[in-house]
Amino acid sequence: MFQLSATLALVISAVGLSGATPPQTPPAANSGAGLLQSGKASEARDAFESALEVDPSSKEAQEGEVAASEQLALQARKEGRMNDALTCLVRAQQFVPKNERLLYDLGIQEDDMHLYQDADRTLTAAEQLNPGDPNVIYAVARVKMDLGQLSAAEEKMEAYLKLRPGDASAHYGLARVYQLGLQFDKARIELQRCIELQPLQTEAYYQLGDIALGQGNFAEAIAEFAMTLARDPKHGGALTGTGQAYFKQKQYVQAEEFLQRAVAAAPDYETGHYYLGLTLARLGRKEDSERELTLATKLAGQAAKSARSGIQSSLSTPNQ
């Protein structure tokens, strides 16, 4: 998962809270530094912004503005106030427009809020300031994948892996890019590499199972899903996939067992309800089947509505 870039320890170092006051530091910046050290991030931000209104080039005030804004955004994220976190970072950018760390934070926030076009622009700007930063390269790759720009995502993920070849999550990410591009042999290689680097996990096994399921290799799919379920017995995707594999082999009793577990573990996952409905029909339980199929249709409609709302929100958000 992505995280905002700064820690409080680094923040204190960055804004010069060691007790030594740099020469020619605006008084408001010194005031902001003290406020930040005492945990008053909001008041500190106001002080840094006052300093920047007097001297926009003050490095101390710029670093302090970024540090205080990061703290406020992190707190908002912890409390689930994602819009407030975004507003906080956008406000900081108005005072410090070309700070790589702030652009990275803002891009991650936008990506987490599914504002993919904005995130792409922001992270591209961050990369231009420091082309070799692996964290920014990885973030750009993720956004490119979210945008469906698979060639660009592949290029960036490969560039990241040249810098950090031992990152299991990046091999997983590259595998997902290959999956979306229907390059399943390449996806398998990356998923297997991910497992080699991080054997105790669930998701790489799940994706291997999903590939096998899609290609009609049902026994292989069940085996891979079993590896996922060994670590996470309530993994809705693996339970559903196992049920699907048994359904495709006309083993309806086994299919029902896993699909009942699937809808209990992931009640909002429409595919589980859909295949459970089909399975119950094969078992002659018409009323139960119709109930599950109706629920699957309802969930599909809700998912489509949510996706449309997300697109409209992104389109209505002004460029930052």
Q: How many CB atoms lie within 10 A of CB 169?
A: 16
- Name the pTM for this structure: 0.75
Provide the 3-class DSSP secondary structure of residue 87: helix
The pLDDT value recorded for residue 24 is: 53
In whole angstroms, what is the distance from residue 108 CA to residue 295 CA?
35
The full set of domain ranges for the chain reads 1-93, 98-199, 201-307
DSSP-derived secondary structure for 123-144: HHHHHHH-TT-HHHHHHHHHHH
In the structure encoding, which two tokens stand for residue 6, read together?
């700064």
Tell me which of 3.40.50.1450, 1.25.40.10, 3.40.190.10, 3.40.50.720 is the CATH number of domain 98-199. 1.25.40.10
The pLDDT value recorded for residue 20 is: 47
**Maximum CA extent, the chain:** 83
Q: Do the Cβ atoms of 96 and 65 come closer than 8 Å?
A: yes
The residue ranges of the chain whose pLDDT is under 50 are 1-23, 308-320
CATH superfamily of domain region 201-307 = Tetratricopeptide repeat domain (1.25.40.10)
Contacts within 8 Å (CB) and 24+ apart, 144-150: 144/120, 145/173, 145/176, 145/177, 145/180, 146/111, 146/114, 146/116, 146/119, 147/116, 147/117, 147/120, 148/180, 150/177, 150/180, 150/181
Which one-letter amino acid corresponds to residue 133? Answer: D
Provide the 3-class DSSP secondary structure of residue 25: coil
Q: Give the model confidence (pLDDT) of 217-244 as tens digits.
A: 999 999 999 999 999 999 999 999 999 9
In the structure encoding, which two tokens stand for residue 239, read together?
């339970």
Contacts within 8 Å (CB) and 24+ apart, 44-47: 44/68, 45/69, 45/72, 45/92
Q: Do the Cβ atoms of 163 and 136 come closer than 8 Å?
A: no
Provide the 3-class DSSP secondary structure of residue 172: helix
In the structure encoding, which two tokens stand for residue 11, read together?
């923040």
Tell me whether domains 98-199 and 201-307 share a fold: yes
